Amino acid sequence: MANQQTDSDKFEELCAGYVLHALEEEERKEFEQMLSEASDEERTLYQEMWSAANQLAFTFEPSAPSPELKDRLMDEIRAQEDKADTKGADNISSIDDTQDPGDDDFNWSAFAVAASFALIVVCLSLIFYSFNLSSTITEKEEVIAKKETTITELKSELQRKEEMLSILEAREIDLVMMAGLEVNPSGYGKIIWNAERQQALLQVSNLPTVPEDKDYQLWLIKDNKPVSAGVFAVKDEKDKFFKIEEMAEATEQSANAFAVTMEPKGGVPQPTGDMYLMGNVNNE
């Protein structure tokens, strides 16, 4: 009788792992052999566990259990069996081996094992869902951060264009055309100058890109002497616009010309490099 009880316990243990696809190949073959020789009561238990596993399959996405998960599940099964044996030993020992599977008696031990598996699967599914949700939130936050960066760049560009537009909208402005010189004859540019506010808008075209250690420097020729009006860099050969924040104080009468040279990065007090653009101010 004790041996039969042991076989029944092993059948329940392997049955639970079998319906959850958690058995090793050797254990699976062993259970299938036991199932072929199982009693009606054991077959009923198998059907109940199989039904519970199928219901869970429709509720949660399947995932292959790891070896660590299998060990934890087996430990849980044994713990549940020990509790069931302690609390209901008299009832279990009184079960008739020839009991008809159609009787109204319910196998509470099998139900407890199946319920334990169901609870474990539910908990694991919630954990997996939580991980997936956390990953999705992180991805959304990265997208939001990129969009915020783009918005900041667009706002900066809009502000720059508004500042340029304010120069163009001034009541009195002077336009100085700049031509390319021998070092770069294809280059050209324009200076839109507001002498009253001492601000200017510089547009250049076809200037070579500057090395990392160089800058272009704009000069105002005032009373036939060059005065720095700021530095700028060209990263490609497309048209570029630059706002000159603070021009040297000059009137239309004292300003003679504008010029662009290539200088060491950050600019120099007096021009030392090649002159790329130059345009005379119409003093008439």
Which domains can be identified in the chain, with CATH numbers?
2-92+107-134 (no CATH), 174-280 (2.60.40)
Weakest mean pLDDT among 202-211, 216-225, 236-245: 236-245
Q: Is the pTM of this model over 0.75?
A: no
Q: What is the pLDDT of residue 283?
A: 52
* Nearest CA-CA partner of 176 in 188, 166, 190, 162: 190
- Strand order from edge to edge, sheet including 199-205: 225-232, 214-222, 255-264, 275-280, 174-180, 188-194, 199-205, 240-244
> Is the distance from CB of 189 to CB of 277 less than 8 angstroms?
yes
> Is the distance from CB of 109 to CB of 91 less than 8 angstroms?
no
pLDDT tens digit string along 99-144? 444 444 556 666 777 777 777 877 777 787 777 777 788 888 888 8
Q: What is the pLDDT of residue 187?
A: 92
Q: What is the pLDDT of residue 103?
A: 46
pLDDT tens digit string along 41-83? 888 888 888 877 776 655 545 455 556 656 666 666 666 656 6
pLDDT tens digit string along 167-208? 555 566 788 899 999 999 999 999 888 777 777 889 899 899
Cα 50 from Cα 15, distance rounded (Å): 9
pLDDT band at 250 (very low <50, low <70, confident <90, very high): low
pLDDT at 257 over 50: yes
> Is the distance from CB of 171 to CB of 223 less than 8 angstroms?
no
Q: Which of 14-18, 76-80, 219-223, 267-271 has the highest mean pLDDT?
A: 267-271
Q: Which of 16-20, 227-231, 235-239 has the highest mean pLDDT?
A: 227-231
**Beta-strand relationship, 225-232 and 240-244:** unpaired
Maximum alpha-carbon separation in the chain: 124
Q: What is the pLDDT of residue 77?
A: 64
